[in-house]
Structure 1
Amino acid sequence: MTHDIQIVGGGLAGSEAAWQLAEAGLRVRVSEMRGGGDMTPAHETDRLAEMVCSNSFRSDDAENNAVGLLHQEMRRLNSLVMRAADKHRVPAGSALAVDRDGFAQEVTQAIGHHPNITVVRERVDTLPEGPAIIATGPLTGSKLAEAIAAETGSDALAFFDAIAPIVHRDSIDMSVCWMAARWDKGGKDYINCPLTKEQYEAFVAALNAGEKTEFKEWEKDTPYFEGCMPIEVMAERGVETLRYGPLKGVGLDDPRTGRWPHAVVQLRQDNALGTLWNMVGFQTKLKHGEQVRIFRTIPGLENAEFARLGGIHRNSFIRSPELLDSELRLKSRPNIRFAGQITGCEGYVESAAIGLLAALFAAAELGGRSIPAPPPESAMGALLGHITGGAEAETFQPMNVNFGLMPPIPGRTRKAERKKMYTDRARERFGEWLSAMVPSARPALVHEVDVA
């Protein structure tokens, strides 16, 4: 099948972009190197939209949380990624977590069976000549990365991203641990492993002393992304750092004492069967043997069996505010758009959202039309604004969607009400944006669904 546009990369952003374009009636070629003889340092399968780190899309609260609002906006735009996530949801309190295998399989089948999409297992080493969206993510192949750098005249920035371990549920001692969510919000969805003050301080000391992965010389100055910091790097910042971060015991009543533990390690369900559990916040660069030794000192995990140990890989992204225009086109080669984590957005849902927007812009352009960008008061508009001009190129860093990216609420407001005011305003502006799209173009570009 000849194609109207090529998508390079079959992750969440590339899959979402392909789906949106195909639904708009365009013929799409998806080029994915996994399955064609190549693999990345982080992926384990050749499935499209494989989740390589956490299995969580984070909060699904669209009333008080920016990422929950982003979920809702994407659902209104008939997002494939959100549809698959909702279908393969697993318990996670107020968060949206998924069975990662079922999720990836759902997306792979939807893309593979769409009559307007051809998936080709091939590695792309040069920038395409025709209309294209580059969605190769933070693990872009070296030759394509070199081609991007040669075209832009600007070296890619980079940071390290770490993967948390996954534990077999039947190896956890539930006589020590208990099921609960913080403040009982959303149900008893997390396994909680309590630590006394002495146990906690010994654990922090073990993290600091544990043998870590050695980096190559050229990697040593690469910064970590604050939202995915290795646990031992946090421990190096001070003995209390973890207790006020991922090991925070606040809001978790130990049923044996009726009190909050000094610190707590939480595990979140990772698959639909409930047999695999992810250690929340335990991204790590510890060597594998050290992980087993140190993590088995956690109460309840003394006999833990690990389905996957943690790891670390180098993520790359471009200077998007300098290189991309307001519709995600490469300024020097406007036939090419960029989408996903390579643009400097951080997080699964953020990556998919930028893939969705890149597809809407591309579909309109290929149809001889144009559409306005979503308003900056919306989650999608705020994220797009950060990528395409909301930050200085020299200091640009990956960012999750957050209320700080949106224009401030005017006037004085009560802090307790502010988040709801942001989401109410965003929902109104986003609805206006949907209604204001060119009427003749809107049916082919946007398939708004009822999320009430």
Structure 2
Amino acid sequence: MTSSIPLVTVIGGGLAGTEAAWQIAQAGVPVDFYEMRPVEKSPAHHTEELAELVCSNSFGAQSSDRASGLLHEELRRLSSVIIATADEHRVPAGGALAVDRAIFSKDLTRKLSSHPLVSFYRQPLNRIPNEGITVLATGPLTSADLAKELQQFTGMEYMSFFDAASPIIVGESIDRDVAFLASRYDKGEAAYLNCPMNKEQYLRFREALCAAEQAELKDFEQESAKFFEGCLPIEELGRRGEDTMRYGPLKPVGLFDARLGDFRAPENKSKKPYAVVQLRQEDKQGQLWNMVGFQTNLRWGEQKRVFRMIPALENAEFVRMGVMHRNTFLNSPELLDATLQFTKRPTLLAAGQLIGTEGYTAAAAGGWLAGTNAARLAKSLSTLTMPNTTMMGALFDFIHSASPKHFQPMPPNFGIIPALAERVRSKKERYGVYRDRSLADLASWQLENQSLEAVVL
């Protein structure tokens, strides 16, 4: 059945490439799937598995009236292998969808490598095939050779920013007499360990953090670095002002240590922490904990010295230190259609952080659309553009239509979705209406395209 259908090449075994290869194969189209590891390594990856989660084990808020949660739900309804596998291997994380990252990646590697229509090659493919249908999903750490090839193909320079990952700590090394288990406003499972700081402790910590020595950014020009505002190093936040961290990842609001009574009671106001460092569970057993919002470029020795100033972490044992690496992305508004096809070569598609979407779930979403459209091209079907009233459609419309001059990576958010016909004042209610409209429009879109495909085939 598949002998008359041309194969599709997918380059890159991250979240986007894995999703793309799966969708192509599930559509009955053969795939040549290339991942450069372990032949070539990257500055950020630690394993050889597909879809390795580099920065965090969290896919973001899971409630469907939140932007990331709506994206999860859209992908569930589209049979995303990434979200289905995340649901299989989730760990407690309050209101977030977080996974045991090791099991998650191993399972996806097993699924893809055992698929009868996937030919899996563990070797770099540092050129864009001249012919055939290809999906580029090489991520923010595209190899130098392929980056040069892309630069020649697009005829333009890349834009780069620097991304950083948070340290991970052994659970047994955390002082549980100081840290308390709670989620903000008691929402969802009490899945975060919270390290409270008084004002004196916070100010000492900030002073040490701002003065700590940073690692050299090897092979990169520091003056050309552009920080993505959604993933700033913690030391950069500290330098921006005395209270910047307290209004960001160290905000104390809504976090209550039940052992000390209810902080909301008037007589207990003095017990409120001045700042709180949150730790999120990394694995199902609760043996590993991620320092939420503590992506950093400090030298490893400095990280240990400064982060051990945080109450409850005086004897912290680090299994992974924070790292910083360059992310590369295309100026997509000048290059890509909302179908994720290159305008100048429609048989070449791109997905993931390479196209300027931000976050794990957005990468999977891009892989889904690029893979689906690649399979449709192989079957001589028209490619799909998603409704911009869906979160997926809004993201891809943004990266296609944004201003090329000031284009920066975009995470899922309700600000990019078209306004409602009637204004809803309550933010929570408004987001709920966005969700309902999105899922209804997605269902109609699915039904319409299934009907069209059946007629063509």
The alignment's TM-score, normalised by the length of structure 1, stands at 0.95
Instruction: Give the CA deviation at 1:412.
Output: 2.8
Q: Secondary structure at the residue paired with 1:267?
A: strand
Please say if 1:215 is aligned against 2:226: no
Indicate if the aligned counterparts of 1:371 and 1:438 stay in contact, CA closer than 8 A.
Answer: no
In the other structure, the counterpart of 2:248 is 245
Summarize deviations over 1:379-422 as a string: whole Å, max 9, x none: 11011111112x11111100101001100113332123211111
Match of 2:377 among 365, 377, 398: 365
In the other structure, the counterpart of 1:448 is none
Indicate if the aligned counterparts of 1:60 and 1:95 stay in contact, CA closer than 8 A.
Answer: yes
Please say if 1:330 is aligned against 2:333: no
Change (3 A) 1:87 1:444: farther
- Give 5+ residue unaligned stretches, structure 1: 446-452
Summarize deviations over 1:46-71 as a string: whole Å, max 9, x none: 10001111100001101x20110110
In the other structure, the counterpart of 1:81 is 82
Please say if 1:175 is aligned against 2:177: yes
Aligned residues between the structures: 442
Q: Amino acid of the residue matched to residue 41 of structure 1?
A: P
Q: Secondary structure at the residue paired with 1:349?
A: helix
In the other structure, the counterpart of 2:18 is 15
Q: Amino acid of the residue matched to residue 303 of structure 1?
A: N
Indicate if the aligned counterparts of 1:11 and 1:49 stay in contact, CA closer than 8 A.
Answer: yes
In the other structure, the counterpart of 2:426 is 415
Which one is further off, 252-261 or 17-26?
A: 252-261
Please say if 1:125 is aligned against 2:136: no
User: What is the percentage of aligned positions where both structures have the same residue?
Assistant: 48
- Show structure 1 runs of 4+ deviating over 4 A: 442-445
Indicate if the aligned counterparts of 1:345 and 1:399 stay in contact, CA closer than 8 A.
Answer: yes
Q: Secondary structure at the residue paired with 2:54?
A: coil
The alignment's TM-score, normalised by the length of structure 2, stands at 0.94
In the other structure, the counterpart of 2:30 is 27
Instruction: Give the CA deviation at 1:126.
Output: 1.2
Indicate if the aligned counterparts of 1:17 and 1:359 stay in contact, CA closer than 8 A.
Answer: yes
- Cα distance in 2 for residues equivalent to 1:196 and 1:315: 36
Instruction: Give the CA deviation at 1:256.
Output: 4.4
In the other structure, the counterpart of 1:396 is 407
Q: Secondary structure at the residue paired with 2:375?
A: helix
Match of 1:311 among 320, 323, 326: 323
Q: Amino acid of the residue matched to residue 348 of structure 1?
A: Y
In the other structure, the counterpart of 1:262 is 274
Indicate if the aligned counterparts of 2:15 and 2:360 stay in contact, CA closer than 8 A.
Answer: yes
In the other structure, the counterpart of 1:60 is 62
Instruction: Give the CA deviation at 1:444.
Output: 11
In the other structure, the counterpart of 1:93 is 94
- Cα distance in 1 for residues equivalent to 2:107 and 2:161: 30
In the other structure, the counterpart of 2:306 is 294
- Cα distance in 1 for residues equivalent to 2:75 and 2:140: 22
- Cα distance in 1 for residues equivalent to 2:67 and 2:336: 24
Summarize deviations over 1:263-312 as a string: whole Å, max 9, x none: 10010000122100000000001100000000001000000000101010
- Cα distance in 2 for residues equivalent to 1:94 and 1:444: 43
In the other structure, the counterpart of 2:70 is 69
Summarize deviations over 1:112-141 as a string: whole Å, max 9, x none: 110000110111111112210000000000
- Cα distance in 2 for residues equivalent to 1:311 and 1:52: 10
Indicate if the aligned counterparts of 1:25 and 1:444 stay in contact, CA closer than 8 A.
Answer: no
- Cα distance in 2 for residues equivalent to 1:145 and 1:5: 21
- Cα distance in 1 for residues equivalent to 2:45 and 2:453: 38
Match of 1:44 among 13, 27, 46: 46
Q: CA RMSD in A?
A: 1.7
Q: Amino acid of the residue matched to residue 67 of structure 1?
A: S
Change (3 A) 1:133 1:312: same
In the other structure, the counterpart of 1:102 is 103
Summarize deviations over 1:412-449 as a string: whole Å, max 9, x none: 3212321111111111111111111142526999xxxx
- Give 5+ residue unaligned stretches, structure 2: 264-271
